């Protein structure tokens, strides 16, 4: 088994958190359909400790929002690792990313916040990390977190 992505994570100084089970709904953290891996929305948490609780434009600024998005994306990768029996090299490409930002009505940096997740995938997967994306501002989020990130990935069988 190749360890290309694990080697890349180590070179970037990135550790992944342990994948967590959903807390607020009876859903799957991930599902595979054919060559697609769907990872449910992930919150900014580290080893189950929920972080970045609050709104962009009130408790958090743009840079903090980007960090929350990045942490949420690390949780997406942790779920992908679990779904793929530990083999992140099975990811052929990141197809789509969805980002949801808990923010005030006048906060205009939603897309820039979600860039924290997009840039992580580009750093880790290179060109295969380029993806289609939606970034949406929201009035509130599960557990009051600042950001939630979901992804669809093409995988090798």
Q: Is residue 49 part of a domain?
A: yes
- Cβ–Cβ contacts within 10 Å for residue 80, how many? 24
Q: Is residue 144 part of a domain?
A: yes
Q: Is residue 78 part of a domain?
A: yes
| Model confidence at 76: pLDDT above 70 | yes
Q: Is residue 113 part of a domain?
A: yes
Whether residue 110 contacts residue 138, with contact meaning beta carbons closer than 8 Å, is answered with no
Q: Which of 82, 90, 81 is nearest to 35 (CA)?
A: 90
Residues 6+ apart with CB under 8 A from 147: 43, 44, 52, 65, 68, 69, 72, 99, 100, 101, 102, 113, 114, 116, 117, 141
Which pTM does this prediction carry? 0.96
* Mean pLDDT within 104-126: 98
Q: Is residue 17 part of a domain?
A: no
Q: What is the number of structural domains in the chain?
A: 1
Q: Is residue 21 part of a domain?
A: no
Q: What residues make up the domain containing 131?
A: 4-12+29-155
Give the pLDDT score at 24: 82
86-101 confidence digits (pLDDT tens): 999 999 999 999 999 9
Q: What is the CA radius of gyration of the chain?
A: 15
Q: What is the CATH number of the domain that holds 136?
A: 3.30.1330.40
Q: Is residue 23 part of a domain?
A: no
Give the pLDDT score at 2: 62
20-73 confidence digits (pLDDT tens): 998 888 999 999 999 999 999 999 999 999 999 999 999 999 999 999 999 999
Q: Is residue 92 part of a domain?
A: yes
Residues 6+ apart with CB under 8 A from 64: 52, 56, 146
């Amino acid at each position: 088994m190749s360890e290309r992505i694990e080697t890349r994570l180590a070179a970037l100084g990135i550790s992944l958190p342990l994948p967590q089970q959903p807390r607020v709904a009876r859903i799957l953290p991930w599902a595979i359909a054919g060559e697609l891996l769907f990872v449910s929305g992930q919150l900014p948490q580290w080893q189950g400790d929920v972080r970045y609780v609050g709104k962009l434009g009130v408790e958090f600024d743009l840079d903090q929002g980007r960090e929350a998005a990045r942490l949420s994306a690390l949780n997406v990768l942790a779920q992908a690792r679990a779904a793929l029996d530990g083999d992140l090299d099975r990811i052929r490409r990141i197809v789509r990313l969805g980002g949801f930002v808990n923010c005030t009505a006048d906060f205009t940096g939603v897309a820039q916040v979600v860039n924290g997740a997009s840039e992580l995938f580009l750093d880790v997967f290179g060109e295969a990390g380029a993806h289609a994306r939606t970034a949406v501002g929201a009035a509130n989020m599960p557990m009051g977190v600042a950001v939630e990130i979901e992804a669809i990935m093409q995988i090798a069988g």
